[in-house]
Amino acid sequence: MAPAHSPLVFSGMQPTGNLHLGNYLGAIRNWVKLQETHPCLYCIVDLHAVTVFQDPKELRDSIRAAAAAYIASGIDPEKHIVFNQSQVSAHAELAWVFNCVARIGWLNRMTQFKEKAGKNRENASAGLFVYPNLMAADILAYKATHVPVGEDQKQHLELSRDIAQKFNTDYGVPDFFPLPEPVITGPATRVMSLRDGTQKMSKSDPSDYSRINLTDDADAIALKVRKARTDPDPLPSEPAGLVGRAEAENLVSIYAALSDQSAEDVLRDFGGAQFSDFKKALSDVAVETLVPLTDEMNRLLQDPSEIDAILAKGAGRARELAEPILRDVYDVVGFIRG
């Protein structure tokens, strides 16, 4: 009987610009819930961020802002581990081993690379291409078993599983690494742009009206919800009526997630309503949830040294977990250590 790996949660977010409602509903909210049932590591993946050039000062600010967002959302850095990736060298070291395990053909299939590299692939950084190998290293440096993410990370997690499986097979160490499970749950696993229901809400969208940032105040949230694109029909009374109405479906999913209900429940209450009324209710629930979070983030950011101390402490605890695993990996691979 194969030894089971103990349940352990790992997830991360890139500190590049503003975190937004998609990050919050697709990921952070689920991270907060998992703290009740699992030991968790929540990482700010600064090594991933520099696969695309980042201004050093802005990067430092964004790392602290991400840490503040995690904590303000309810992640407990005392009970669980919160840190930035570059402080734990095991991530980069294991990523090198995985660069030698993963196949170029696997990486060539990654849709996120294609999207991010755009037309000029020759000019993308080599780091952007091997980005998913580093992501596998993040998770497997701790032998984490569960990875809560939004829908868009599913393909990367499948690759992490393939890497774990190939390492175990190539080196004849069945069950050395667990095959990490994606945890993609809730009514808003893919929050779409407020301007175009076919595009993902994203930090890189040039229009700030496309997203609600975790730094937006009540007025900005209300304005963005009011300006969100919709269609002229009233809301349907059940989810089947949302088919082909991407913007309407997105707003209903956001409302459902923010108010902790299912889309069915929301439509039972709002079926037949005009968007003007629904948007008012949506804006109220968004303000109610996000404004206290933003206030707390701003409070935390007034003392950057406190945030740095939390990250340093988290990194120390993370290192203690990752280093013995990395030593075992090096032994398995056949490296000599003095």
Residue with smaller CB distance to ligand TYM, 10 or 98? 10
Six token digits for residue 220: 């900005």
| Options 68, 69, 82, 135; binder of ligand TYM; rule CB under 6 A | 135
Task: Give the separation between CA 81 and CA 317, rounded to whole angstroms.
Answer: 7
153 binds ligand TYM (CB under 6 A): yes
Give the other-Cβ count within 10 Å of 235's Cβ: 22
Work out the angle between the directed axes of helices 90-99 and 131-140 (0-180°, nearest 10): 120
Given 8, 9, 94, 139, the residue binding ligand TYM (CB under 6 A): 139
The residues, ordered by sequence, that sit 6+ positions from 251 with a Cβ below 8 Å of its Cβ are 228, 230, 275, 278, 279, 282
Convert residues 6-25 into a mask of x (bound to ligand TYM by CB under 6 A) and - (unbound): ----xxxxx-------xx--
Residue 200 interacting with ligand TYM (CB under 6 A): yes
Nearer to ligand TYM, 260 or 303 (CB): 260
Active site residue 203: yes
Taking the C-alpha atoms of residue 256 and residue 138, their distance in angstroms, rounded to an integer, is 31
**Least distance in angstroms from the C-beta of 189 to ligand TYM:** 6
Whether 200 is catalytic is yes
DSSP 8-state secondary structure symbol assigned to residue 189? S
- Encoded amino acid at 91, one letter: H
Q: If binding is defined by CB under 6 A, does position 256 make contact with ligand TYM?
A: no
Told to check if 186 binds ligand TYM by CB under 6 A, we report: no
CA dihedral over 29, 22, 130, 198, signed as positive or negative: positive
Residues found near ligand TYM in the complex (CB under 6 A): 10-14, 22-23, 26-27, 45, 48, 135, 138-139, 147, 149-150, 152-153, 156, 189-191, 200-201
* Residues carrying an active site annotation: 116, 200, 203
